Copies of this chain bind each other. A is one copy, B any other.
Amino acid sequence: MTIDNTTKTTVPFSREQLESVLKTRFFYAPAFELYGGVSGLYDYGPPGCAFQANIVDVWRKHFILEEDMLEVDCTMLTPHEVLKTSGHVDKFSDWMSKDPKTGEIFRADHIVEEVLEARLKGDQEARGLVKDANAAVQENADKKKRKKKVKQIEAIKLDDDIVKEYETVLAKIDGYSGEDLGKLMVKYNIGNPVTGDPLEPPRAFNLMFETAIGPSGQMKGYLRPETAQGQFLNFNKLLEFNNNKTPFASASIGKSFRNEISPRAGLLRVREFLMAEIEHFLDPLDKSHPRFHEVNDIVLPFLPREVQESGSTTPIVTTIGEAVSSGMVDNETLGYFIARIYLFLVSIGVDDTKLRFRQHMANEMAHYATDCWDGELLTSYGWIECVGCADRSAFDLTVHSKKTKEKMVVRQKLEKPIEVTKYEIDLTKKLFGPKFRKDAPKVEAFLLNLSQEELEKNAKLLKDNGKITFNVEGVESEVELDEKFVVIEKRTKIEHVREYVPNVIEPSFGIGRIIYAVFEHSFWSRPEDTARSVLSFPPLVAPTKVLLVPLSNNKELVPVTTEVSKILRKEKIPFKVDDSGVSIGKRYSRNDELGTPFGITIDFESAKDKSVTLRERDSTKQVRGSIEEVIKAIKEITYEGSSWEESTKNLTPFTSTQTEETV
């Protein structure tokens, strides 16, 4: 950057101005606006789409190419059974409450939260602690990017005990079940915030979009809520593709879906979004990472569980090396990815002073997870979770394997064979067919899948009672077996191969959220004219790299413009020509809003000697050189990480007769 941050922060950030620029320049827009729009759905226009494509390209190079990951592209349509096994059918839901009179639907936790917050603010106004309770609640709603549901607050003083109760409820608001929320609504008389009428008890609303696959309508399916399941289901094929070597990672970039109850405007909470996910499969007994030393000294702000529990939000700033060796971050591989996530985010334009890694609290984390950190970015809506990085242990492979009876394991040849003692079950298969007929395969599979604990228990039962009984899914009557059918014994064997279900470290990126954060972090207004704003994207991800500006519409300038266009096209450098009649200042100003890092001006001198002017977006500095020199500088800065100073040091500083102020 050739401009210091002081200049960029002179004019206070205005979200309204940013949103106006993003809209005017068609970075994105509500989808189906012509038809009144559908909340939570957005289309990316040309600059937004190019920006997204560039970020995906950097992601692919930074993670997939650099680490030799196995990229897969799996379907979004997913049958019911898969998401039943993964737990999404049962647990991927929010609680909603309906107003039986108006038909309005509310998210139960949000409504409880807002009503209690509003009452507390009203209490504070009554006590003279805040001036305007309504304004305070509005501000809070803005922060959370929610529509304010409570329309009018009255300044009513509450009992001190009630204030305490409300505060306790609010502190625990994310942890309540639907039943809990229903009880709170009754207890505190929380209804429709406008009419006051009571709401129906909360019921679970699954956030997956449901559809039917095939013509019979009988195969229920969903649009995937994440890209991970496709990667898990292909584990065996990927392992084989990788010549059975571990650790390895798969990766996937694609759309996922979430049928939000009431999404608000903006890219932070949408119903269809682009994700990029990595599943790094590794040995549960060895979570070291061979390239950890490359990131060891990177300093990051961490917000671990203990700090949050103490009520503080001041991060611990330390190296990732220290964070891992102290045990704050569970293991090297998890730490390696946290550092790599940081490097990626900064390379695409995230302000590193507005980034932190927050550890999940015990109650936020799935029961099977070993550790989980969110990469959070600071925006005008507060800290937003943009990347998750979790150690999910062996959960996913285990559940799918158990459900489908397909092994998903790594077999490792042991250098020294080991002695293993365990329970084994032998079936007298010839007796199963006659006894169980068509159910025989089910019964056999059931028995062969018994866990060590179950085998131990049944060995004892069989010994004590001479028989054992089971209920087998899909088999009507109870299954009863005696010692003629099965033998269960504890045996000691020498094993030459170790077999294990790998653990998985899952870095998961919400690309749309990251994009929005980069918009905010890159946006500033010029102190000399606050109406002129700039999106200071790094050249590598900027939607268009070069604006080509002929000084006038004079025909003399056409050949040079054509020549420069041809070279840029040949070099695959995305550019736009602006030969509109408006002033050159206005044309540059428009492109500053589009985040175009470079301008090439073609004037009458250019027509004579093929020299052109190169302008840098942030500093508005200009230099002069031959077409080749200027394009070389653009290439170096954009694609090879060179600085403006370095790449233009041999070019001549230039002061335009057409100043920037000619806007």
Contacts and interface: CB of A to CB of B under 8 A. Distances in A.
Given A38-B219, A230-B43, A210 B212 contact: yes
Given A43-B72, A49-B71, A215-B105, A257 B77 contact: yes
Nearest to A237: B26
Given A404-B34, A572-B65, A41 B77 contact: yes
Given A105-B215, A215-B105, A238 B45 contact: yes
Interface string A391-425: 00000000010001010000000000000000000
Interface string A8-44: 0000000000000000011001011111001101111
A261 B75 contact: no
Work out how many copies of this chain go into the complex.
2
B45 A241 contact: yes
A211 B210 contact: yes
A351 to B, nearest CB: 25
A213 interface: yes
Contact of A569 (B65, B261, B400): B65
A259 interface: yes
Contact of A32 (B71, B78, B238): B78
B26 A233 contact: no
A433 interface: no
Contacts of A71: 46, 49-50, 53
A370 B652 CA distance: 55
Interface size class of A (residues with CB under 8 A): 35 or more
A259 B29 contact: no
Interface in A52-105: 52-53, 60-61, 65-66, 68, 70-79, 81-82, 96, 103, 105
Interface in A549-608: 569, 572, 574, 576, 578, 580
Contacts of A500: none
Interface string A182-217: 000000000000000000000001000111111110
Given A61-B572, A219-B38, A72 B45 contact: yes
B96 A72 contact: no
Contacts of A216: 103, 105
Nearest 6 pairs of A and B residues by beta carbon: A44-B73, A46-B70, A43-B74, A41-B75, A209-B211, A49-B73
B32 A233 contact: yes
A223 interface: yes
A113 interface: no
Contacts of A659: none
A358 interface: no
Contacts of A467: none
Interface of A: 25-26, 29, 31-35, 38-39, 41-46, 48-50, 52-53, 60-61, 65-66, 68, 70-79, 81-82, 96, 103, 105, 205, 209-216, 219, 221, 223, 230, 233-234, 237-238, 240-241, 243, 254-255, 257, 259, 261-262, 271-272, 400, 404, 406, 569, 572, 574, 576, 578, 580
Contact of A42 (B41, B75, B212, B214): B75
Nearest to A94: B215
A79 B38 contact: yes
Contacts of A257: 77
B52 A73 contact: yes
A45 B234 contact: yes
B211 A400 contact: no
A215 B46 contact: no
A16 to B, nearest CB: 20
Contacts of A580: 243
A215 B96 contact: yes
B79 A35 contact: yes
Contacts of A254: 255
Contact of A215 (B32, B77, B215, B261): B261
Contacts of A34: 233, 400, 404, 406
Contacts of A241: 25-26, 45-46
A214 B43 contact: no
A112 to B, nearest CB: 17
Nearest to A219: B38
A617 B219 CA distance: 45
B105 A29 contact: no
Given A38-B213, A75-B42, A77-B257, A237 B29 contact: yes
Given A52-B73, A73-B52, A82-B32, A576 B234 contact: no
Contacts of A74: 31, 43-44
A663 to B, nearest CB: 17
23 contacts: A25-B241, A26-B237, A29-B234, A31-B233, A34-B404, A35-B79, A35-B81, A43-B230, A46-B72, A46-B241, A53-B71, A61-B572, A75-B272, A76-B76, A76-B255, A77-B271, A103-B216, A105-B216, A209-B211, A211-B211, A243-B578, A254-B255, A255-B255
Contacts of A219: 38
Residue of A26, A74, A205, A271 with most chain B CB atoms under a 10 A cut-off: A74
A73 B272 CA distance: 11
